[in-house]
């Protein structure tokens, strides 16, 4: 349902439900421990459904960040690590055989691993450290058994996921592609030998079992059953070919498929056709083996009847021999006594063998414990190797950081030397500025003295002007002479005012220069204090 909604572009209708579904998926995936008993397979199927739903959401670019916010790297690695440590397919390797036990969840555990890897492949750029852990898993050899099983399982999703993983991991430097190929080849050989053994066991059944099954069945009835079976097989083949022809006709007539990936569907059907052809050839071989077994059974029944007649004749002979055997019974009694003694000796040997068997069982138990310890030590070795690689990377980064700090320290030393030299130069400049400031202060004092003298002269001139005004009032009679004196005095007053104005401007310029010198001195003092703080901080460090 969600897949159809996403394919139709109805993302807005899915987003509110996604916020409610994703926490449920996270809670479901958090329970990685598989319970014992019949609940184990149900739990694995539940995990697979949750992973499929998470993969469906993560396949959309808009919903992938939401999935990445819920699904963490630790959650995925816990799922895979539990399966790697407890799944019998990976623990037994080539010694694993398919079990018909309803409590065996090994095959479903492979689905959990493959779907988790597919989810990690989708979220490797959206979740922190996901790409690193995913690459580490692919470069290890612990997933070889599961990838081989998924590739040969015949399940469409498993095969697609394994092919995607191989296409992603092939460019990696340490991806075990050769080991994977060898394992797949070994599994194919094992499956072929298993099929061959089944065919051989069907073709070479023991005469006693054949007689038990068929000695009371007429040959015509057996041929009828085989003919009926062949008719059923031909009918199923005709039905399969008819359905395939209908599918080809629909595709040729231009009928649009719901799935946009029509090429993938065609390839799947081609693969299915090839597998059906292979199964047909296997069934043909089995049919020939069955026909051969039927002919052998008929021949054995004939031989059985001949042997029955021979047995009757032999029974008559045995009756005659019985009479002779009674005569020999006395001799056999003595042999029986010897046999009793031999039996006692054999019973003693049997007890000794029982003790040896118990000792061998103890040795086998010890070997099993040692094997488990070896497996644990191997896992520890792998963990230690991964930790060693991590520590090497950290050591390399720390070495680079140390080199960078050393260069930075040398740069700081050079800057310190330059700053010290600048501090010495600025100290000398400060002393020169202090001397210059003292000289300016002396000049200011001289100017102040000159200003006071000018003020005294001004007061004196003012007083003289007052006296002249009084003299003007009293000496109006000598106006012509006094007018000239007045003009002369006015010229002197204007000259004195001009001199006073010039002195005031010079005084303002001196005050401005003094303020600038004070600001420069304050700047130099601040720079000196800053340099002193820097040098004192470095010395304390």
**pLDDT at 531 exceeding the cut of 70:** yes
Q: What is the tens place of the pLDDT at every residue in 420-437? A: 888 888 888 888 888 888
Q: What b-and-e string marks burial along 69-106, b requiring 16 or more CB atoms within 10 Å of the CB?
A: ebbbbebbbbbbebbbeebbbbeeeeebeeeeeeeebb
Over residues 48-55, mean pLDDT: 89
* Spatial distance between the Cα atoms of 72 and 126, rounded to a whole number of angstroms: 10
Q: Residue 230 above 50 pLDDT?
A: no
Which tens digit of pLDDT belongs to each residue from 474-513?
776 777 776 776 788 888 888 888 888 888 888 888 888 8
Q: What is the mean pLDDT of the chain?
A: 77
DSSP 168-232: HHTTSTT--HHHHHHHHHHHHHHHHHHHHHHHHHHHT--HHHHHHHHTTS-HHHHHHHHHHHHHH
pLDDT score of 209 more than 60: no
Residues 6+ apart with CB under 8 A from 64: 57, 58, 122, 123, 126
- Whole-angstrom CA distances from 222 to 69, 215, 305 are 66, 11, 18
- Cα distance between residue 349 and residue 288, in whole Å: 50
Instruction: Locate 106 and state its tokens.
Output: 């090994």
Q: Give one word for 217, left, alpha or beta, with left for phi > 0 and alpha for psi -120 to 50.
A: beta
* Beta carbons of 132 and 374 less than 8 angstroms apart: no
Among residues 11, 117, 127, 2, the alpha carbon closest in space to that of 62 is found at 11
CA 86 to CA 104: how far, in whole Å?
12
Angstrom distance (rounded) from CA 93 to CA 87:
10
Instruction: Please determine, for residue 9, whether its predicted confidence score (pLDDT) is greater than 60.
Output: no
Residues 67/14, Cβ–Cβ less than 8 Å: no
Rounded to whole angstroms, the Cα distance separating 323 from 318 reads 9
Count of Cβ atoms closer than 10 Å to residue 508 Cβ: 10
Across the range 223-239, mean pLDDT stands at 47
The answer to whether 110 and 149 have CB atoms below 8 angstroms apart is yes
* Distance from C-alpha of 184 to C-alpha of 179, rounded to nearest angstrom: 9
Q: Is the pLDDT of residue 109 over 60?
A: yes
How far apart are the C-alpha atoms of 107 and 149, rounded to whole Å? 9
Which H helix or E strand runs over 63?
Answer: none
Structure tokens that stand for 506 in this block: 């010079």
Which position has the higher pLDDT, 73 or 482?
A: 73
Four-point Cα dihedral 97, 98, 103, 105, nearest 10: 90
For the cut 80, the answer to whether the pLDDT of residue 263 exceeds it is no
Cα angle at 94 between 92 and 95, to 5 degrees?
55
What local confidence, expressed as pLDDT, does residue 283 receive? 82
Inter-CA distances, 509 with 285, 440, 444, 535, Å: 121, 12, 10, 39
pTM: predicted TM-score of the whole model, two decimal places: 0.39
DSSP calls for 21-56: HHHHHHHHHH--PPPSTTHHHHHHHHHHHHHHHHHH
Report the alpha-carbon distance of residue 331 to residue 338 in Å, rounded: 11
**Are residues 54 and 119 in contact, defined by beta-carbon separation less than 8 angstroms?**
yes
Q: Is the pLDDT of residue 96 over 70?
A: no
**Gap between the Cα atoms of 273 and 156, Å rounded:** 14
Confidence grade of residue 265 (pLDDT, cut at 50, 70, 90) = low
Using CA atoms, how far residue 104 sits from 41, 46, 89, 425, in Å, is 7, 15, 11, 87
**Quick one: average pLDDT of 257-273?**
60
In the prediction, which pLDDT does 430 show?
86
User: What are the boundaries of each domain within the chain?
Assistant: 1-203, 418-540
* Three-class SS of 236-255: HHHHHHHHHHHHHHHHHCCC
Reply yes or no on whether the pLDDT at 256 is more than 50.
no
pLDDT tens track for 347-396 = 888 888 888 888 888 898 888 888 888 888 888 888 888 889 988 888 88
- Percentage of the chain beyond pLDDT 70 is 77
């Amino acid at each position: 349902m969600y897949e159809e909604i996403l394919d139709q572009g109805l993302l807005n209708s899915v987003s509110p439900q996604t916020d409610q579904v994703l926490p449920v998926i996270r809670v479901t995936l958090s329970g990685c421990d598989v319970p014992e008993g019949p609940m184990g397979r149900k739990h694995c199927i539940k995990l697979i459904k949750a992973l499929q739903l998470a993969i469906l959401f993560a396949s959309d670019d808009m919903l992938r960040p939401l999935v990445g916010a819920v699904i963490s790297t630790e959650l995925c690695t816990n799922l895979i690590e539990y399966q790697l440590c407890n799944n019998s397919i990976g623990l037994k390797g080539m010694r694993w055989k398919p079990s018909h036990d309803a409590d065996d969840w090994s095959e479903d555990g492979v689905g959990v691993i493959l779907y988790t890897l597919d989810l990690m492949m989708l979220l490797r750029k959206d979740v922190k450290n996901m790409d690193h852990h995913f690459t580490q898993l692919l470069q290890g050899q612990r997933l070889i058994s599961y990838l081989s099983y998924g590739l040969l399982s015949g399940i469409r999703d498993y095969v697609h996921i394994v092919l995607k993983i191989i296409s992603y991991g092939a460019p990696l430097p340490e991806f075990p592609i050769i080991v994977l190929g060898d394992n797949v080849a070994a599994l194919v050989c094992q499956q072929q030998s298993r099929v061959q053994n089944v065919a051989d066991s069907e073709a070479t059944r023991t005469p006693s079992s054949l007689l038990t099954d068929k000695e009371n069945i007429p040959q015509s009835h057996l041929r009828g059953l085989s003919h009926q079976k062949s008719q059923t097989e031909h009918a199923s083949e005709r039905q399969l070919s008819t359905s395939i022809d209908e599918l080809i006709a629909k595709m040729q007539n231009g009928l649009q498929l719901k799935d946009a990936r029509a090429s993938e569907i065609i390839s799947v059907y081609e693969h299915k056709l090839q597998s059906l052809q292979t199964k047909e050839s296997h069934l043909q071989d089995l049919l020939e083996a069955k026909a051969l077994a039927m002919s052998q059974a008929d021949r054995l029944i004939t031989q059985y009847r001949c042997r029955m007649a021979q047995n009757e004749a032999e029974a008559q002979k045995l009756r005659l021999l019985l009479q002779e055997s009674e005569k020999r019974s006395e001799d056999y009694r003595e042999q029986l006594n010897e046999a009793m003694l031999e039996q006692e000796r054999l019973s003693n040997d049997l007890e000794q063998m029982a003790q040896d068997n118990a000792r061998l069982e103890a040795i086998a138990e010890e070997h099993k414990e040692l094997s488990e310890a070896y497996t644990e030590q191997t896992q520890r070795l792998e963990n230690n190797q991964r930790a060693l690689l991590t520590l090497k990377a950290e050591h390399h980064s720390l070495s680079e950081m140390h080199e960078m700090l050393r260069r930075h320290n040398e740069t700081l030393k050079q800057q310190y030397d330059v700053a010290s030299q600048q501090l010495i130069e600025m100290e000398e400049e400060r002393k020169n500025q202090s001397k210059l400031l003292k000289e300016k202060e002396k000049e200011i004092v001289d100017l102040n003295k000159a200003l006071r003298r000018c003020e005294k002269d001004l007061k004196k001139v003012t007083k003289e002007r007052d006296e002249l005004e009084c003299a003007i009032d009293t000496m109006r009679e000598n106006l012509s002479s006094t007018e000239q004196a007045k003009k002369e005095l006015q010229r002197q007053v204007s000259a004195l005012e001009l001199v006073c104005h010039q002195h005031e401007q010079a005084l303002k310029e001196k005050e401005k220069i003094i303020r600038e010198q004070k600001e420069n001195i304050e700047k130099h003092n601040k720079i000196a204090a800053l340099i002193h703080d820097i040098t004192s901080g470095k010395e304390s460090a």
